[in-house]
Amino acid sequence: MNILLWHVHGSWTTSFVHGKHRYLVPVTPDRGPDGLGRARTYPWPDSAVEVTPPELATAEVDLVLLQRPEEEALATEWLGRRPGRDVPAIYVEHNTPKDGAVPNSRHPMADRDDLLVAHVTAFNQLYWDTGGTRTTVVDHGIVPPTVEYTGELDRLAVVINEPIRRRRVTGTDLLPRFAEIAPLDVFGMKVAGLADQLGLPADRLTSHDDLPQARMHAELARRRAYLHLCRWTSLGLSLIEAMTIGMPVVVLAATEAVMAVPPGAGALATRVDDLLTATGQLMVDPAAARRAGAIARRAARDRYGLDRFLTDWDRLLEEEVCGSR
């Protein structure tokens, strides 16, 4: 199939474009949010092809994969066809609702009979009110990192995009408490200046801004444990990647994380004090950290494998495209 999708979420899209289809990724001269084009820090196969808006007017498109409400109007303008009416469409919902009305949050694609909403977690499906719109869940899958856990550095790894702006959503405000136990290495987009924002000395928090994925994985693997303190995000793919590497994880028990982290993989709790205690134990007991990481790795590879993810998506794509004919 020829599938039109925007480059919105780098890790998720990296997994998706590893399928057997041809992926049309809009690109604009400014490479802004509506035309970012191919990823620059993630490895994508050649089947992910950049297309300009004028080229889309005559492009053969079998399905439109929407991920933001505004993409429906963009697709209509650029294709000259309406998603869901003139060409099959699936809306992928990556996020938990954040409109302040939880648990009564109304989805922007609610009560639609012309498309399907595919949630990336069962938690999202539960918390979004989509009315009469059909929904399904396709759990995450990741391209497995090529590195293995060593944990030789007595440091904690964290991956957060925009931790300063998102602050409480991503648990940024909790980081100083963990920095008292071990130095933090924070990876992600727009992490520069985080230590200053939190009032931490440079030797307690080091920022690593927007590293290429493979390099980031190699750095994660050297840290003793992975820290995931998100209060209200869907399910961070970096958490699954860290588990797949074989890292023990210290995780705030919120949203879908409670389903992703098995007993014995590190720590999972809503009490921050319990997470702090577990972190201290991992830092002084490398052997225990390695055992916990092995449990995390098995769970992540069993549930979030790339083959399962792509198989689930192929089945769904076929149903939607064939069912519209």
pLDDT in tens, 256-275: 999 999 999 999 999 999 99
In this prediction, residues 171-179 reach a mean pLDDT of 98
**Chain mean pLDDT for the chain:** 96
Could you tell me which residues come within 8 angstroms of residue 206 by beta carbon, excluding any fewer than 6 positions away? Answer: 183, 184, 185, 186, 195
Contact 188, 210 (CB under 8 A): yes
pLDDT at 323: 74
Lowest mean pLDDT among 22-26, 147-151, 319-323: 319-323
| Sole residue written with tokens 């408490």 | 177
Give the residue-averaged pLDDT of 189-214: 95
Confidence of residue 324 (pLDDT cuts 50, 70, 90): low
Q: Map out the domains of the chain with their CATH numbers.
A: 1-140+304-322 (3.40.50.2000), 151-302 (3.40.50.2000)
pLDDT (average), residues 33-44: 92
Q: How many CA atoms lie within 13 A of 309 on its CB side?
A: 24
Stretch 104-128: mean pLDDT? 97
Give the whole-angstrom CA distance, residue 13 versus residue 38.
10
CA distances in angstroms from 208 to 78, 152, 179, 248, 303, listed in the order given: 37, 19, 16, 21, 29
pTM of the complete model: 0.93
pLDDT band at 144 (very low <50, low <70, confident <90, very high): very high
Q: Phi, psi at residue 179, to the nearest 5°?
A: -65, -20
Q: Where are the beta strands (DSSP E) in 1-96?
A: 2-5, 22-26, 48-51, 63-66, 89-93
What does the block give as tokens for 239?
């958490």
Strands (E), 131-255: 134-137, 153-159, 184-188, 205-209, 223-228, 249-252
